[in-house]
Chains A and B, each alone.
Chain A
Amino acid sequence: MTNLLDIENLRVRFPTRQGHFDAVRGISFSLGRERLGIVGESGSGKSMTGRAILKLIRKPGEVTADRMQMGKTDLRTASDRQMRKIRGRHASMIMQDPKFSLNPVMSVGQQITEALTTHERISRLDARKRAIQMLDAVAIRDPERVMGLYPHEVSGGMGQRIMIAMMLIPDPEILIADEPTSALDVSVQLSVLEIMDRLVTDRGMGLIFISHDLNLVSQFCDRILIMYAGRIVEVCQAGKLHEAQHPYTIGLLNSVPDLQHPRPRLDVLKRDPAWSAAPSVSALT
């Protein structure tokens, strides 16, 4: 089976007053038709990785890699025009907060049909029909009514489901979800994730799920990359998270307070400088 995405030695670097800051430092991974989780804390470079794939890093930041292959396209040499085609058609991205990703002056229906008509030759009526089907697929009741609503009229959970509908409607092969549920309440979080999970699995897409929440990721992914200071420190199969070896991964797991297994004190991560100095673990398959 061929991979949807192959990345080798990816680096994202920003110039600063004191020289360079490397947000991502030479990571390699590939994505098949699977659900890949990228986990790390703020500043670990996980979001930068997601953005670098779609070339959404703004100047003066620069992205370099030995290989960035998406299907037949070499992303390193792709022009802005080609990238616009790729975004949406081949790969989509869901951001953290729907409030900032939906256009406040366009109705939900307009935005979803626009996502479709920019990538396909399709009549208005058909586009509308597909949009309603899609809203139905993300478990929105009464999709006809929701089509006419504006972003401020929908709740956070519904907004994020609309985003998922919008991103999945051009039928991309790869979905990058960057903290898709961190802005949502716990009880809504799970249902949104379950919907996303079902759609991705049904369509045989590749999912990159970026999150700070190791436990949550382990439920919705097959393989997990753990990032620390711009590098991959460990690659785990989701089912074997309890076998994790790296002290950082273990520390992350133990620092979460657990309702049913109370401890008098929470474990605190002792950050070892050797972690960031160690070479990145390859996650190529």
Chain B
Amino acid sequence: MTHQTLRDWLLTDTPQSRRQASAAAWYAGWLKLKRNTLAMAGLIVLIALILGALCAPLLATQDPFVQDLGARLLAPGTDGHIFGTDSLGRDIWSRLIYGARISLYIVALVAVVAPLLGLIIGTVAGYAGGILDVVLMRFTDIFLAFPRLILALAFVAALGAGIENAVLAISLTAWPPYARIARAETLTIRNSDFIHAIKLQGAGPLRIITRHVWPLCISSLVIRVTLDMAGIILTAAGLGFLGLGAQPPSPEWGAMVSEGRKYILDYWWVATIPGLAIFTISLAFNLLGDGLRDVLDPREAGK
């Protein structure tokens, strides 16, 4: 199949099979995203980051854990250390590459747990209404009322320091906004005719929520999650910085900034380079999120 006919097959308004229909829908979304240059830039940065994390052993010039006290605090560029070395003489570039694995691990886990929890609570509250709605939403309000980092700190303090507990703590503090969004979407969807129509086929609430309400909520949640990614990375980094997230010697970016802060005036790169890494991927997620908003906005879907 030549390139031109594949494109035609994907752009058709008259799909002939289930597979073609969904492929065409994805392709239309992709074309829309492709037009947004900034979102594409964000996407490319994130893909590069994922590839970098996957190929860390190939890209790293040195073992990220090996200390070399003779070569401590070398400036970027000296002796083959692209980004210099830290206070224990470890290569910062190698640590960054391995640290990407930790950041992505945290992000991926939080991105699955928090929105899912929010989606379930929000759609059930919105669809059921009445007492259940009141109870679930007040519960959400209680969580929302705490400052996020403080609540996360409290959880980690109670559960013990470590990456898994940091992920759990961040997820537990991140779900309430998703529940709010999901509930608001559900309230508008609940009264639309296509929901009435499926009710008139005798469909039960479980089927309506999972098959009919969720697909329409998920797009706004995906947008919100991508925009929140930056915040999640920063919270994880913050926990790392405070010594409650990843434990030394693991190369978590926040912990790296924390270690470097003692030398910030004389050896700027030790704290600045992991800081820049956090900044770059936060920005990349934000740009992608903005682009996804244009593609996924359910209000646009009908047109």
- Check A-B contact in the complex, CB < 8 A: yes
**Chain A residues with a Cβ under 8 A of chain B:** 17-18
CB of B265 within 8 A of chain A?
A: no
The answer for the CA separation of A18 and B31 in the assembled complex, in Å, is 12
State the 3 A-B residue pairs at the shortest beta-carbon distance, nearest first.
Answer: A17-B31, A17-B11, A18-B11
The count of chain B contact residues (Cβ–Cβ below 8 Å) is 2
**Chain B residues with a Cβ under 8 A of chain A:** 11, 31
Give chain A residues whose Cβ lies under 8 Å from the Cβ of B11. Answer: 17-18
Give chain B residues whose Cβ lies under 8 Å from the Cβ of A17. Answer: 11, 31
The answer for the CA separation of A17 and B30 in the assembled complex, in Å, is 13
The answer for the CA separation of A17 and B11 in the assembled complex, in Å, is 10
- B13 nearest in chain A by CB position: A18
Please report whether the interface of chain A is mostly helix, strand, loop or mixed according to DSSP.
loop
The answer for the CA separation of A191 and B31 in the assembled complex, in Å, is 50
- B28 nearest in chain A by CB position: A17
Give chain B residues whose Cβ lies under 8 Å from the Cβ of A18. Answer: 11
The answer for the CA separation of A18 and B11 in the assembled complex, in Å, is 10
The answer for the CA separation of A18 and B28 in the assembled complex, in Å, is 12
Nearest Cβ on chain A to B30's Cβ, whole angstroms: 12
Mind listing 3 A-B residue pairs with CB under 8 Å? A17-B11, A17-B31, A18-B11
Give chain A residues whose Cβ lies under 8 Å from the Cβ of B31. Answer: 17
Nearest Cβ on chain B to A158's Cβ, whole angstroms: 27
- A18 nearest in chain B by CB position: B11
Nearest Cβ on chain A to B141's Cβ, whole angstroms: 29
Nearest Cβ on chain B to A18's Cβ, whole angstroms: 8
- A17 nearest in chain B by CB position: B31
The answer for the CA separation of A226 and B247 in the assembled complex, in Å, is 77
Nearest Cβ on chain B to A41's Cβ, whole angstroms: 19
The answer for the CA separation of A83 and B11 in the assembled complex, in Å, is 40
Nearest Cβ on chain B to A60's Cβ, whole angstroms: 13
The answer for the CA separation of A18 and B8 in the assembled complex, in Å, is 11
Nearest Cβ on chain B to A178's Cβ, whole angstroms: 20
The answer for the CA separation of A17 and B31 in the assembled complex, in Å, is 10
The answer for the CA separation of A159 and B48 in the assembled complex, in Å, is 58
Nearest Cβ on chain B to A27's Cβ, whole angstroms: 26
The answer for the CA separation of A211 and B11 in the assembled complex, in Å, is 34
Nearest Cβ on chain B to A17's Cβ, whole angstroms: 7
The answer for the CA separation of A17 and B29 in the assembled complex, in Å, is 13
The answer for the CA separation of A44 and B12 in the assembled complex, in Å, is 24
The answer for the CA separation of A243 and B19 in the assembled complex, in Å, is 52
The answer for the CA separation of A18 and B7 in the assembled complex, in Å, is 12
Nearest Cβ on chain B to A30's Cβ, whole angstroms: 35
Nearest Cβ on chain B to A121's Cβ, whole angstroms: 43
Nearest Cβ on chain A to B276's Cβ, whole angstroms: 38
- B35 nearest in chain A by CB position: A17
The answer for the CA separation of A179 and B196 in the assembled complex, in Å, is 30
